[in-house]
Amino acid sequence: MPKKTFFNINEEKRKMIEEKAINEFAVYSYENSSINRIVENCKISKGSFYQYFENKEDLFRYIISLSVEKKMKYVNATLISEIDNGFIKIIKEIFKSGLKFAYENEKLASIGVLLMKNNNSEIYHKIIGQNKNMAIDFYKKLIEIEIEKGEIKPDINVEFVSYLINSMIINLSEYFFEINKNNEKKYSEEMLFLVDDLMDMLINGIGL
């Protein structure tokens, strides 16, 4: 957590520091980011920075916490409204809210993707640590319920399918950025079709 001095400075400056830090991590990832560059962009001194934050990790954790907080607002709203509508609907909505978050918070989403992909790094272990299987376990439970309801084949490899869904969610945002890199962004249409395609594929396969 940042030191209390960080929360004492005026909001404009605070937001500016947050923004510059988000920019830095989104472009360079944690390992290759530079405090020197951040303070330079912020036009504050090195000494000031270390009066706001314990160290580089402290800043990164703070930015991640901002990101998680924001993303939760998207996902929680979905979960609450869809919790009784079964696996397909829930997963679909998680995918969609994930994409919506990525679309509306490109930089934060990029930081998240970089962190999740770099899952051998020290910072990944420090931040994600024991929670790394939380999402996967959640999908596992959903799938098991669906198997009991007779909606999903009972002989699938639940562990593996959960893992796959998890990496699909990470990949989906990336793919979306990829196809939209040079085009103008057509969030609402393209994106939702993509999720529908993906879910249809997951449930029914691509074979005839």
Q: Report the residue from 14, 16, 18, 37 that binds DNA according to the rule CB under 7 A.
A: 37
Nearer to its own copies, 7 or 193 (CB): 193
Q: Which stretch binds DNA (CB under 7 A): 5-13, 68-76, 173-181, 194-202?
A: 5-13
Task: List Cα–Cα distances, 187 to 118, 143, 168, in angstroms.
Answer: 27, 29, 18
- Kindly write out the interface string for residues 158-187 of this chain, putting x where it contacts its own copies by CB under 8 A and - elsewhere: -xxx-xx--xx--x---x--xx--------
Residue 30, number of CB atoms within 10 A of its CB:
23
Minimum CB separation from DNA for residue 126, in Å? 12
Residue with tokens 């939760």: 72
Q: 72-110 burial, b if ≥16 CB within 10 A, otherwise e?
A: eebbeebeeebeeeebbebbbbbbbbbbbbbbebbbbbb
CA dihedral of residues 191, 174, 21, 15 (deg, nearest 10):
10
In the list DNA, its own copies, none, the entry touching 205 (Cβ below 5 to 8 angstroms by class) is its own copies
Task: List Cα–Cα distances, 206 to 103, 111, 138, 189, 197, in angstroms.
Answer: 27, 32, 26, 22, 10
Question: Is 181 a binder of DNA (CB under 7 A)?
Answer: no
| 172: nearest Cα among 112, 84, 85 | 112
Q: How far apart are CA 48 and CA 190, in angstroms?
A: 45
Question: Is 80 a binder of its own copies (CB under 8 A)?
Answer: no
Restricted to residues 107-136, the positions that interact with its own copies (CB under 8 A) are 114, 117-118, 120
In the list its own copies, DNA, none, the entry touching 150 (Cβ below 5 to 8 angstroms by class) is its own copies
Question: Is 153 a binder of DNA (CB under 7 A)?
Answer: no
Residues binding its own copies (CB under 8 A): 29, 31-32, 114, 117-118, 120, 143, 150-153, 156-157, 159-161, 163-164, 167-168, 171, 175, 178-179, 193-194, 197-198, 201-208
List interacting residues with DNA (CB under 7 A): 4-5, 8-9, 13, 33-37, 44-48, 50-51, 55-57
